Chains A and B, each alone.
Chain A
Amino acid sequence: MGISQPTKAPEIIRERDEILSSQINEILELYRGERSELIPILQEVQQRLGYLPEAGLKRIARYIDLPESTVFGVATFYAQFKLVPTGRNMIRVCRGTGCYVRGASQILETLERELGIKAGETTSDLEYTLETVACFGSCALAPVVVVNDRVYGRMTTEKAQKILANKKEK
């Protein structure tokens, strides 16, 4: 409905969507299609695909007969669900008070600029996801950045750039 001028999807997106939708169909087959199954289905899709693709949410909405806006509402309500795929590297910047007063914002800004994305986003090559976190509990090391599982303390903007440069070389 609405403005129904169809748009042409590029071939690649379509192929990727087809793979995703077949995976989602496999998951859905395990469920009866009841509304109460929403959260478990979302969890399973997230686990299998690493995130909840939009086409998948629509598919799920239809399967359990819920409005797609409601499914989207639920998916965005819980922090555990991701709507964009996460990159191979997860960079998390602490934004807790301890880190904040020691310049976490500048570090975040630098990383955002270097990667060309905002916090919460993933680079288009699916290499990096940038996130912020409330407090890692390592305030003594503030400001803190965690790359994958490695903790980097006493960060500076230079150090942040170096970490990225090292990653990119590999």
Chain B
Amino acid sequence: MTSTVSTVSEQKGLETITLTIDGKEVQAPKGSTVLEAALGADIYIPTLCYDPDLTPYGACRLCLVEIEGMRGLPTSCTTAATDGMVVHTETPAVNQARRVAMELIMANHHGDCLTCAKNQQCELQKIARYLNIEQEHFDRLRKSTQILPVDTGHPAFIRDPNKCILCGKCVRACHEIAGAGAIDIAFRGYAAKVSTMGDKSIVESLCESCGECLARCPTGSLLPKQTVSPTREVKTICPYCGVGCSIYLGIRGNEIVAVRGDEESPVNRGGLCVKGRFGFDFTNHPNRLTRPLLRKEGYGKNIEVDGNFQEVFREASWDEALELVADKLTHIKEKYGPDSLGVLSSAKFTNEENFVVQKFARAVLGTNNVDHCARLCHASTVVAALAAFGDGAMSNSIADFAKADLLFVIGSNTTECHPIIGRIIRQRMESGEIKLIVADPRNIDLARRATVHLRHKPGTDVALLNAIMHVIIEEGLQDKEFIRGRTEGFDELAATVERYTPEMAEEITGVSKADIVRAAHLFAKADRAAVLYGMGITQHTTGTDNVKSLANLLMLTGNMGREGTGFSPLRGQNNVQGACDMGALPNVYPGYQRVNVEENRLKFESAWGTTLSETPGLTVTEMIDAAHQGKIKVMYVIGENPIMSEPYMSHVKQALQQLEFLVVQDIFPSETAFLADVILPAAAFAEKDGTYTNTERRVQKLNKAVDPPGEAKPDWQIVSELAEKMGHPFGYENTADIMEEIASLTPIYGGIRHRRLEEYGLQWPCYDELDPGTPMLHMGTFTRGLGKFHAVEYRPPAESVSESYPLILTTGRVLEHWHTGTMSRRSEVLDKLNPSGVVDIHPDDAFKLSISDGDLVTIASERGKIEAPVRVTDKSSPGLAFLAFHWRESPANALTNPALDPVAKIPEFKVSAVRAMLSVLDRASQDNEFLAKLAENPAEALKEYQLSEEEKAAIISGDIRKIESWTGKLDNRLKQWLIAKLSQEK
């Protein structure tokens, strides 16, 4: 019912009061307003500024009622209901006053109903009708003149201030729900209106495009640009991030035309972010794959396919394509053995599909070489948390964030990457009820709101966390009882962190000693503290150690197994939790049952009627290396795009080019598909059934809303058909069948059945059909018994800055896009909102490099180089550059370092040494050594080159004409750069 932190009834508890409304006895929870009491008893009171999710405003004066013993006509939305109150909602006086209020509102509502897209759905019209104001009278009151300019700048909605009645719902939604604060009421008197900072277009404001305002506007003042109204609705799950918001898709024909958040969902309570609200048009994009495609004879893999897709591939029937794939796989398996085959499953598709894919790899191909992109995001979490707690998942629920006293967010840009969780944090901070510690090298949105911001250098997390624990232990603030009763290994930890004094950590991390001490005090003294983290922790060569340190901190302070506490890895992909649960991992069967434990193998062998390999398979990153070395001959890549998502792009590309055979199954021709021999067209999220498991282990039901385009099919069907062609029919009729098999083989999913999930889903472990699921793990005892402390030492990142690569590049995501952009870049709204990759550089570095905002720069590492426009911003730190990895025009992973965490094999995406240079300069200096030298080190250049006095003078005085006489004509921007650079040298 509400997107704010807790529902009205939760806040108000169970005590009730009784009052009389229109002669009817009405019960209401204590603390309700008169309006809420009436609405709860199905008594209608007209309102324009009331919304159950927002604080009462009392502006429209339509909800007036008469209350016995009270003078005047109070607004029911702002009047508290009390025991024994007698209320009348329909008296002549009330009606008269409402009509006056309505006429006042309408006099300020400019516009013509007939041409308004909100016509017939407009609250204003509805209430006018209710108050018996005839349309004619209404039209007379309403001025038809448009006096204020309409803001059409946003790709998804328009803002027409002429129709605004200043009910303030949009403003409150933006502040109280979204926490963005992009709009407010500005100006005064007759000129008052809803305005952004500086009264500019909404796209130039802090607007995050979540559409919470749009969803609430009672008039046509905020209107979606897409105005086709749906004829039916289907409840399903957002396919973007791991929050797993529940949504209703509005369908007209075979198209998604509208989306709304599911108000009943305990996950998002009706709220959505920009991707969930506006990002689904990719399903209708003309680039969708609709038929199987085969690479034509004679087209090698070294050609660039990008533009000439049609020329290189030809369409084929399913039969022909699957026949070919089946033959090849069988043939190569016979020739080189099953471990020459590798399968990439996907965190984007359903549990059922992941189950089928890993079963295909294990039972049909006979190899454990199956993995997916969790390797690239939370592999370190799974390894470390299994070791510390016995379970690799989030310990508590999203709802717990609203119950904590302190949140510690480390390495997570939550408001952009998990927006609905980010919102909860913003709301809690705004309420003043919690403290927030943010540890992040960048000055992200949450950092600005934090009680303490620890701006540590990338890759120094262990040192930082050890120092925090050092302070806690030194001052005796640890939870001794918890440590004694529920954990082991404390002494080793204490011995190790003893050396990590705040002074030492300050040296390593760049965070002041005082801030470290302050964070330690805040954390240790909080009654209920939760840690939230993301890829800033996991994507390091020390990823496993980082996660272990967080586990240490939580156990040290007794913040496990209670409400409002816990360990919260925020999972990236919509179904990355599920893909791991389903055993799309090389070392475990579904439910984390190890492949090298005989008992497990026997169980699966007997269920699947075949023999299985007992050797754990290769991880994604290892498969790429093995392909490079010619050990892996075939890869079957389903719903993943390793070219864009793996580090060191050129290496991955080479590896895939060397394969004897590559099958790619996807909804779009991804960058990886360009290298395929066979491309199989898959169905998108809205075109199939199944389940996703979100970041809080909640298994939720996906429902089919539209048909797939052309001959595209759900992944589980394609893989099942292939299995059949290879002589191993799976025999599934539908996805519910698959879930039955999952439940029978996976104890933690033992009680999951599709029919049990329609409402809110179930959180695993859920052992049998009566099990209501588990919102909180590790209560009373850890899954592994005792929680285990791991003493870990700080190790620096694999790469550090050097003279030639003086900046650290860190990668990540932005709000509007998703991963390699396969979906979000094909959403018109999302792509318009954020069309190209931008490198963030701190003003100090920009000054040193003489680069200004908007310049095209070349970023190079030892592994590659890319071009992107620069944004000079203090969101970055000195010495740090940031680039998200969504854009193929500026692929961040061309630069990143493939160095791996030794245990979890996760690459160090977050730390690569790079240099930044003005692109014109980079190009010019490629054939001009002198310019190159000048760019790198002007003082040296002057010394090193044997320049005549005249030449020196020209350089020192910045005489461009002279300089051009030796270097040849220079680009204008380059001239400016030279002048700036030379004047700095002076």
A65 to B834, CA, bound (A): 26
A101 to B88, CA, bound (A): 50
Q: Does A4 contact B (CB under 8 A)?
A: yes
Contact across chains for B197 and A54 when beta carbons are under 8 A apart? yes
Residue from A1, A61, A79 whose CB has the most chain B CB atoms within 10 Å? A1
Contact across chains for B854 and A72 when beta carbons are under 8 A apart? no
Contact across chains for A6 and B870 when beta carbons are under 8 A apart? yes
A1 to B180, CA, bound (A): 10
Contact across chains for A9 and B208 when beta carbons are under 8 A apart? no
Q: Does B735 contact A (CB under 8 A)?
A: no
Which range holds the interface residue count of chain B? Answer: 35 or more
Closest to A77 in B: B188
Q: Does B198 contact A (CB under 8 A)?
A: yes
A4-B838, A67-B175 in contact; A76/B188 too (CB < 8 A)? yes
Q: Does B330 contact A (CB under 8 A)?
A: no
The digit string for A2-24, where 1 denotes a CB below 8 A from any CB of B, is 11111111000000000000000
Contact across chains for B187 and A67 when beta carbons are under 8 A apart? no
Residues of B within 8 A of A1 (CB): 206-209, 815
Shortest Cβ gap from B175 to chain A (Å)? 6
A139 to B835, CA, bound (A): 59
Contact across chains for A2 and B207 when beta carbons are under 8 A apart? yes
Contact of A67 among B181, B199, B203, B833 (CB under 8 A): B181
A67-B182, A69-B205, A69-B206 in contact; A6/B196 too (CB < 8 A)? no
Shortest Cβ gap from A154 to chain B (Å)? 30
A2-B833, A54-B198 in contact; A70/B853 too (CB < 8 A)? no
A157 to B622, CA, bound (A): 84
Contact across chains for B206 and A68 when beta carbons are under 8 A apart? yes
A4-B871, A5-B869, A54-B198 in contact; A69/B835 too (CB < 8 A)? no
Contact across chains for B853 and A3 when beta carbons are under 8 A apart? no
Contact across chains for B187 and A65 when beta carbons are under 8 A apart? no
Q: Does A58 contact B (CB under 8 A)?
A: yes
The digit string for B276-314, where 1 denotes a CB below 8 A from any CB of A, is 000000000000000000000000000000000000000
Contact across chains for A8 and B206 when beta carbons are under 8 A apart? no
Contact of B853 among A2, A8, A54, A79 (CB under 8 A): A8
Contact of B854 among A8, A54, A58, A77 (CB under 8 A): A8
Residues of B within 8 A of A41 (CB): none
Contact across chains for B853 and A9 when beta carbons are under 8 A apart? yes
Residues of A within 8 A of B603 (CB): none
Residues of A within 8 A of B570 (CB): none
Contact across chains for B197 and A3 when beta carbons are under 8 A apart? no
Contact across chains for B195 and A3 when beta carbons are under 8 A apart? no
Contact across chains for B206 and A6 when beta carbons are under 8 A apart? no
Q: Which of B191-214 contact A (CB under 8 A)?
A: 195-199, 202-209
Contact across chains for B869 and A6 when beta carbons are under 8 A apart? yes
The digit string for B848-872, where 1 denotes a CB below 8 A from any CB of A, is 0000111100000000000001111
Q: Does A40 contact B (CB under 8 A)?
A: no
Q: Does A62 contact B (CB under 8 A)?
A: yes
A6-B838, A68-B181, A69-B205 in contact; A76/B187 too (CB < 8 A)? yes
Contact across chains for A67 and B206 when beta carbons are under 8 A apart? yes
Contact across chains for B195 and A69 when beta carbons are under 8 A apart? yes
A8 to B834, CA, bound (A): 17
Closest to B198 in A: A54
Residues of B within 8 A of A3 (CB): 203-204, 832-835
Residues of B within 8 A of A42 (CB): none
Residues of A within 8 A of B174 (CB): 69
Contact across chains for B183 and A69 when beta carbons are under 8 A apart? yes
Contact of A73 among B180, B195, B834 (CB under 8 A): B195
A66 to B203, CA, bound (A): 20
A44 to B882, CA, bound (A): 37
Shortest Cβ gap from B523 to chain A (Å)? 22
Contact across chains for B182 and A6 when beta carbons are under 8 A apart? no
A71 to B175, CA, bound (A): 13
A4-B838, A5-B869, A6-B870 in contact; A72/B203 too (CB < 8 A)? no
Across the A-B interface, the 5 shortest Cβ-Cβ residue pairs: A67-B181, A69-B184, A73-B184, A68-B197, A73-B186
Some 12 contacts from A to B, beta carbons below 8 A apart, are A1-B206, A1-B208, A2-B206, A8-B852, A67-B175, A67-B181, A68-B197, A69-B195, A70-B184, A72-B199, A76-B195, A77-B188
The residues of A with any CB-CB pair to B shorter than 8 Å are 1-9, 54, 57-58, 61-62, 65-73, 76-79
